[in-house]
RNA sequence: GGCGGGGUAGCUCAGAGGUUAGAGCAGUCGCUUCAUAAGCGACGGGUCGCCGGUUCAAUUCCGGCCCCCGCUACCA
């Protein structure tokens, strides 16, 4: 019996006090590509997402709207999932931290950390605003005043429970040292290391007092669990921590936590320490992706400007999907924004990338190959059973090329993976057609023309396999337009690395209208 | 302030001590018509942020300066 490798990954869980935007979507997309790729490669994948609901902001937002916090959270969760579904994000579970199961498991965890002696009672002193009824950080203050109520804050201390984060400094540094890939990309890793080395880690207050909304602390019910301590636990409560040890043991430790670069500290320092304190293993990798700006920056004036230009719909993911497609949305961000770094979204660029690469390059290549094949050969390559296709890209070693793309995908360099597929493979295929002109050749040497098309169709097969994690629907449409022997659900990257003979004559299996397929990516603009 | 990253063609970026500094996109001009007015080919003379230094030679090495960005503990 063979052991299927498993792959457990998560995205950050989102605050549901506003709808998801293109930035939050960017994170899910990058994670989704990885999940889809790993599934293709035979991993037993579990992909966890969720919403972070036990925060004061959420209960405030709910009361502003005259709703109960729970009803508000459930509705927002529905809205988030609607967006993720529209974008074809292939998550396996969606955790809401306000749900009882999560709360029970979180309590079990904090109790364990407490029993292990890593939580102690103390008092937190800070700047308190009476209006907000909450503490303010130094950074938030504006000349000693509360930024919301514009009046002085007061020094106040109140009892709380601390987590002994400081006890884990050396162990964390050792872990980073022994696991150089733990924090990706490297720039984030360097930041965290220098942070711990230079400033050290302080114990952290992990409770809040007198909040009605949140998870009560089992050993001191007057308190609730601070949102971050609670939120991070989603990653384990979602796979059975606390009530399903078998499932938990199957998937933990996580292979990758996909997060925004701004919250690496919580994931790279606090989170492993929490797990150690509870006797569990730390995650294997944390990937801090970049941000997406809108035409350089985003701001209120920008929103107004976009409205004036009639483009404000581009701020709403659902609208982009509705007007174009999920595939167009996915492709733009994955192609144009480097996942490890920051990217930019602009309407002009969106159309350029879409038209140039999806419509003109890939879509048109598909279209022209289908049409000539249909016109000249009735969609069937007679007598090609057992024929091994020839390479159409001069100087390209297919196995090496696929290995390069694979390397980019595994390192989350999605933009480079797509760049390679388009520039090093699809464009040369168009050049091959141009050079051999089967539409002319068919008049003089039909067999030769057939051979050229037969070879070129292999590029569609290879490209669709490589593109499967990125644009799953279009890739499937391309692949299943022919009778390639391996079922779509079973294709692997390795299948793209070789040109093999077919067990039967290659032919078009797609439904055509007037000998043409409907445009895969209709041009826009 | 400290630590880190960066300033290269209109845009996004790659690059390396040394013949004419590269790619994609956009733009211009041809060819073509199988195809989604798609495809293919040609055309880029850009002080490689500024000022010095090392060197036979620097955009690539060193120093200084200017500008941008990230982190600097509880905000996505």
Statement: the CB of A205 is under 7 Å from strand B: yes
Q: From residues 436-495 of A, list those within 7 angstroms of strand B by Cβ.
A: 439-440
Round to whole Å and give the CA distance between A32 and A305: 32
**Measured in Å, how far apart are chain A's first and last C-alpha atoms?**
54
Report whether A391 contacts A428 (CB < 8 A).
no
Protein CB footprint (7 Å) on chain B nucleotides: 2-5, 11-13, 23-26, 33-41, 70-76
Round to whole Å and give the CA distance between A374 and A512: 9
What are the structural domains of chain A?
6-118+164-290 (3.40.50.620), 293-323 (no CATH), 356-496 (1.10.730.10)
Per-residue model confidence (pLDDT) at position A138: 66
**Tokens matching residue A109:** 């965890």
ipTM (interface predicted TM): 0.91
**Å between CA of A342 and C1' of B6:** 13
Nearest protein residue by Cα to C1' of nucleotide B11:
A349
Nearest protein residue by Cα to C1' of nucleotide B26:
A352
Q: How far is CA A131 from the centre of its chain?
A: 39
Query: Measured CA to C1', what is the nucleotide nearest A435?
Result: B40
Give the side-chain half-sphere CA count within 13 A for A112: 16
Q: Which whole-number Å values give the CA distances from A450 to A373, A415, A427, A456, in the listed order? A: 8, 34, 20, 10
Query: Measured CA to C1', what is the nucleotide nearest A356?
Result: B25
Helical packing angle, A472-479 and A326-336, nearest 10°: 110
Spell out a b/e string for A53-84, using b for 16 or more CB atoms within 10 Å of the CB, else e. bbbbebbebbeeeeeebeebbbebbeebbebb
Long-range contacts, A173-176 (Cβ 8 Å, 24+): A173/A197, A175/A272, A175/A282, A176/A268
- Annotate A449-515 with DSSP letters as a single string: HHHHHHHHHHHHHHHHHHHTTTSHHHHHHHHTTBT-SS-GGG--HHHHT----BSS--BB-S--BTT
Query: Measured CA to C1', what is the nucleotide nearest A432?
Result: B40
**Å between CA of A58 and C1' of B38:** 50
Nearest protein residue by Cα to C1' of nucleotide B32:
A434
Plot region of A66 (φ>0 → left; ψ -120 to 50 → alpha; else → beta): left
**Tokens matching residue A270:** 């606090």
Over its length of 525 residues, how does chain A's per-residue pLDDT go in tens digits?
467 999 999 999 999 988 898 889 999 999 999 999 999 999 999 999 999 999 888 888 899 999 999 999 999 999 999 999 999 999 999 999 999 999 999 999 999 999 999 999 999 888 777 766 667 766 666 666 766 676 777 888 889 999 999 999 999 999 999 999 999 998 899 999 989 988 889 999 999 988 889 999 999 999 999 999 999 999 999 999 999 999 999 999 999 999 999 999 999 999 999 999 999 999 999 999 998 888 766 555 566 777 777 777 877 899 999 999 999 999 999 999 999 988 888 888 999 999 999 999 999 999 999 999 999 999 999 999 999 999 999 989 999 999 999 999 999 999 999 999 999 999 999 999 999 999 999 999 999 999 999 999 999 999 999 999 999 999 999 999 999 999 999 999 999 999 999 999 999 999 998 889 999 999 997
- Of the candidates A236, A105, A243, A216, the one whose C-alpha atom is nearest the C-alpha of residue A161 is A216
**Å between CA of A296 and C1' of B49:** 20
**Å between CA of A300 and C1' of B40:** 45
DSSP assignment letter at A132? T
- Of the candidates A457, A458, A438, A459, the one whose C-alpha atom is nearest the C-alpha of residue A449 is A438
Statement: the CB of A375 is under 7 Å from strand B: yes
- Using DSSP's 3-state secondary structure scheme, residue A208 falls into strand
Give the side-chain half-sphere CA count within 13 A for A109: 32
Statement: the CB of A366 is under 7 Å from strand B: yes
Per-residue model confidence (pLDDT) at position A297: 62
Round to whole Å and give the CA distance between A492 and A269: 36
Q: Supply φ then ψ for residue A395, to 5 degrees.
A: 75, 5
Query: Measured CA to C1', what is the nucleotide nearest A15?
Result: B76
Round to whole Å and give the CA distance between A115 and A107: 12
Q: From residues 14-33 of A, list those within 7 angstroms of strand B by Cβ.
A: 14-15, 23-24
Q: Which whole-number Å values give the CA distances from A283 to A112, A151, A246, A251, A275, in the listed order? A: 19, 43, 18, 11, 9
Q: From residues 272-331 of A, list those within 7 angstroms of strand B by Cβ.
A: 291
**Å between CA of A419 and C1' of B68:** 27
Statement: the CB of A427 is under 7 Å from strand B: yes
């Amino acid at each position: 019996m063979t052991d299927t490798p498993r792959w457990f990954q998560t995205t950050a869980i989102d605050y549901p006090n506003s709808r998801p935007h293109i930035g939050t979507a960017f994170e899910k997309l990058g994670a989704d590509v990885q999940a889809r790729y790993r599934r293709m490669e035979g991993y037993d994948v579990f992909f966890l997402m969720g919403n972070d609901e036990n925060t004061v902001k959420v209960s405030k937002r709910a009361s502003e709207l005259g709703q109960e916090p729970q009803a508000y959270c459930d509705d927002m969760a529905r809205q988030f999932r609607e967006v993720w579904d529209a974008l074809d994000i292939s998550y396996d579970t969606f955790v809401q931290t306000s749900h009882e199961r999560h709360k029970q498991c979180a309590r079990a965890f904090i109790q364990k950390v407490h029993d292990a002696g890593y939580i102690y009672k103390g008092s937190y002193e800070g700047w308190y605003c009476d209006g907000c009824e909450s503490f303010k950080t130094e950074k938030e203050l504006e000349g000693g005043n509360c930024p919301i109520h514009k009046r002085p804050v007061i020094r106040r201390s109140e009892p709380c429970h601390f987590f002994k984060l400081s006890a884990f400094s050396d162990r964390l540094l050792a872990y980073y040292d022994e696991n150089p890939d733990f924090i990706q990309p490297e720039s984030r890793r360097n930041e965290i290391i220098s942070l711990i080395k230079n400033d050290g880690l302080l114990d952290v207050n992990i409770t809040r007092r007198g909040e009605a909304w949140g998870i009560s602390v089992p050993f001191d019910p007057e308190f609730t669990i601070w949102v971050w301590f609670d939120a991070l636990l989603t990653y384990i409560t979602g796979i059975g921590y606390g009530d399903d040890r078998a499932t938990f043991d199957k998937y933990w430790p996580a292979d990758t936590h996909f997060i925004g670069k701004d919250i690496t500290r919580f994931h790279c320092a606090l989170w492993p320490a929490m797990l150690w304190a509870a006797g569990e293993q730390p995650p294997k990798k944390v990937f801090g992706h970049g941000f997406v700006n809108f035409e350089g920056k985003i701001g209120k004036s920008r929103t107004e400007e976009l409205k004036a230009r009639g483009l404000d719909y581009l701020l709403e993911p659902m609208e982009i999907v509705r007007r174009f497609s999920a595939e167009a949305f996915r492709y733009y961000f994955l192609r144009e924004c480097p996942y490890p770094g920051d990217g930019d979204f602009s309407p002009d660029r969106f159309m350029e990338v879409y038209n140039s690469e999806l419509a003109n390059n890939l879509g048109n290549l598909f279209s022209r190959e289908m049409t000539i094949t249909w016109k000249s050969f009735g969609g069937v390559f007679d007598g090609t059973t057992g024929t091994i296709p020839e390479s159409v890209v001069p100087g390209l070693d297919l196995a090496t090329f696929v290995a390069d793309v694979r390397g980019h995908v595994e390192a989350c360099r999605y933009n480079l993976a797509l760049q390679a597929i388009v520039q090093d493979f699809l464009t040369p295929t168009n050049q091959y057609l141009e050079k051999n002109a089967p539409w002319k050749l068919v008049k003089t040497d039909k067999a030769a023309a057939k051979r050229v098309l037969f070879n070129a169709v292999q590029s569609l097969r290879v490209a669709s396999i490589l593109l499967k994690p990125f644009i799953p629907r279009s890739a499937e449409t391309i692949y299943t337009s022919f009778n390639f022997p391996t079922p779509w659900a079973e294709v692997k990257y390795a299948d793209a690395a070789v040109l093999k003979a077919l067990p039967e004559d290659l032919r078009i299996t797609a439904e055509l209208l007037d000998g043409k397929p409907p445009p895969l990516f209709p041009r826009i603009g």
